[in-house]
Structure 1
Amino acid sequence: MFGTAFLKDLIAHRRLIIQLSLKDLKDKYLGSYLGILWAIIQPAITILIFWFIFQVGFKSLPIENYPFILWLVAGMIPWFFFADALMNATNSIVGNIFLVKNVVFRVSLLPIVKIISPLIIHLFFVIVMVVMFWSYGFPPNIYFLQIFYYLFAMSVFILAISWITSALVIFLKDVGQILAMFLQFGYWITPILWSLNMIPSKYEMLIKLNPMYYIIEGYRYSLIFRSWFWQYPRMTLYFWGVTICLLLLGAFVFKRLRPHFADVL
């Protein structure tokens, strides 16, 4: 029932969701001289710093015959979207109290608003990635289109987690800090700056239990390895199994706590 009603409201409020997402993107950088350009500058500088450290400092060799910078951006850019969207979605209800008290608007849609705004920036960086690969002699091919599948999968995964975190953070403010800590920890245990081949094989399964491993490697399957997601049925079933379980748990938690939001806020 929750899922059907949610989809109906999603379609009914689609224009409002887009408007709120664009407004959120503008408000985030309101008052700064460079405005929305900061959303591009900050990730770009981070990538350049890590590229300089590993490529120039540690003399990192090409991976799978691809320059290290291409391997790096294929992992860092999807992670930037994941971390930014998840943190924003977690605070989506706390930051929109006026909509929480609006009985017409479905509050469970608010995390989507906070996912769409960083998604716009992410799509820009996807274009940048394609241009970078092309400039290095790897022109776009049909596998590049698979990025949109992994982007959709990651967005659903973010929504599933954010239904839980956005509801809990209203009652337990520490959730935001705990989530930030987990994101920092997850950044280093996910093969973003390193390859899975660099660790002992006995630890590989533990790394693969991280759903974001499926997403990060999926971007590389699309851009570098040129393979389809259905060629890895176990990982695909595992990812969607975890995601669906989190969606069901998130829907349950959100539905149970929703009647108390207005009172606490």
Structure 2
Amino acid sequence: MELARSDFKDKYLGSYLGTFWAFFQPMLLILIYWFVFQVGLRNEPIDNYPFILWLLAGLIPWFFFSDSISSATYAVVQNTFLVKKIVFKVNNLPIIKIVSSGIINFLFIGIMLLIFLCYGELNSIYNFFVVYYLFCLVSLVVGLSWFTSSLLPFFKDIGQIVNSILQIGFWVTPIFWSFSILPAKYEFIFKLNPMFYIVQGFRDSLIYHKGFWEHPWLLLYFWSVTLALLIGGAFLYKKLVPHFPDVL
């Protein structure tokens, strides 16, 4: 936790407003999206829910995912002093970056819940399942980050590949568009994206009031992929750790 707090502060070291930017930039992005789609394009309510609520339920978990993966991918190359000179449990480096990203993203999850409360929508026991989907999100990010951060010291292109995939993933994940508009024959392709399960899960918990057990095949698929990433990522990371000092 101490290293995560230090990493969070270091991101904004030297700027006059410091950590203010950590809060300002995502809030500005949310306001822009809200203005464009709600005010400018006058998007209709989706399933009789205000568009801003439907949007936040998909956008906030994506912010957490994108920020954590982008940061954790560089965990090893940005901490060479810990890898080379100090006896340190190196496999914690990506987790430190994820916790650092979580400091701001958990705050935004709190703001999202407050907005839902102001709209009078936090009125169901199903709302508590957000905690389960947060656990799913963190598990997915940890598994992916062990892969990307361990490969980056050997293949510098990994960073650009991750950024490109995140850009594509942002638009193929139903964040701004409703999954119901897709022809049925294409639905399974988009469901292969693990973030579909999490985004849909946030909306199920906060908007549609459904339990995670109501999608058993999606649950089984998501945890099969996530556990494979966690086990495979941990194995790969452990195998490559002895070689980090040689390539950094």
Q: Structure 1: which 5+ runs fail to align?
A: 1-17
Letter in 2 for 1:98: F
Letter in 2 for 1:242: V
* Superposed displacement of residue 142, structure 1: 2.4
Q: Is 1:107 matched with 2:90?
A: yes
| CA shift digits 1:76-117 (9 cap, x unpaired) | 111001000011111001111111125631111111000001
What is the CA–CA distance in structure 2 between the aligned matches of 1:97 and 1:194, rounded to whole Å? 42
Match of 1:88 among 56, 65, 71: 71
Match of 2:232 among 242, 245, 249: 249
Identity of aligned residues (%): 53
Alignment partner, residue 217 of structure 2: 234
Alignment partner, residue 22 of structure 2: 39
Letter in 2 for 1:163: W
What is the CA–CA distance in structure 2 between the aligned matches of 1:156 and 1:55, rounded to whole Å? 33
* Alpha carbons 1:221, 1:227 under 8 Å: kept: yes
Q: Is 1:173 matched with 2:156?
A: yes
What is the CA–CA distance in structure 1 between the aligned matches of 2:232 and 2:110, rounded to whole Å? 34
Alignment partner, residue 262 of structure 1: 245
* Alpha carbons 2:213, 2:219 under 8 Å: kept: yes
Alignment partner, residue 218 of structure 1: 201
User: Structure 1 segments of 4 or more deviating over 6 A?
Assistant: none
Q: Is 1:163 matched with 2:146?
A: yes
* Superposed displacement of residue 140, structure 1: 4.6
Letter in 2 for 1:183: L
What is the CA–CA distance in structure 1 between the aligned matches of 2:196 and 2:70, rounded to whole Å? 19
Match of 2:40 among 49, 57, 66: 57
Q: Structure 2: which 5+ runs fail to align?
A: none
What is the CA–CA distance in structure 2 between the aligned matches of 1:253 and 1:74, rounded to whole Å? 33
What is the CA–CA distance in structure 2 between the aligned matches of 1:232 and 1:39, rounded to whole Å? 35
What is the CA–CA distance in structure 1 between the aligned matches of 2:182 and 2:78, rounded to whole Å? 41
- Normalized against structure 2, the TM-score is what? 0.96
* Alpha carbons 2:122, 2:206 under 8 Å: kept: no
| CA shift digits 1:120-163 (9 cap, x unpaired) | 21111111111111212223532222111111111111111111
Provide the aligned C-alpha RMSD in A: 1.2
What is the CA–CA distance in structure 1 between the aligned matches of 2:186 and 2:24, rounded to whole Å? 35
* Superposed displacement of residue 229, structure 1: 0.7
Aligned length: 248
| CA shift digits 1:165-202 (9 cap, x unpaired) | 10110011110001000000000000000110112111
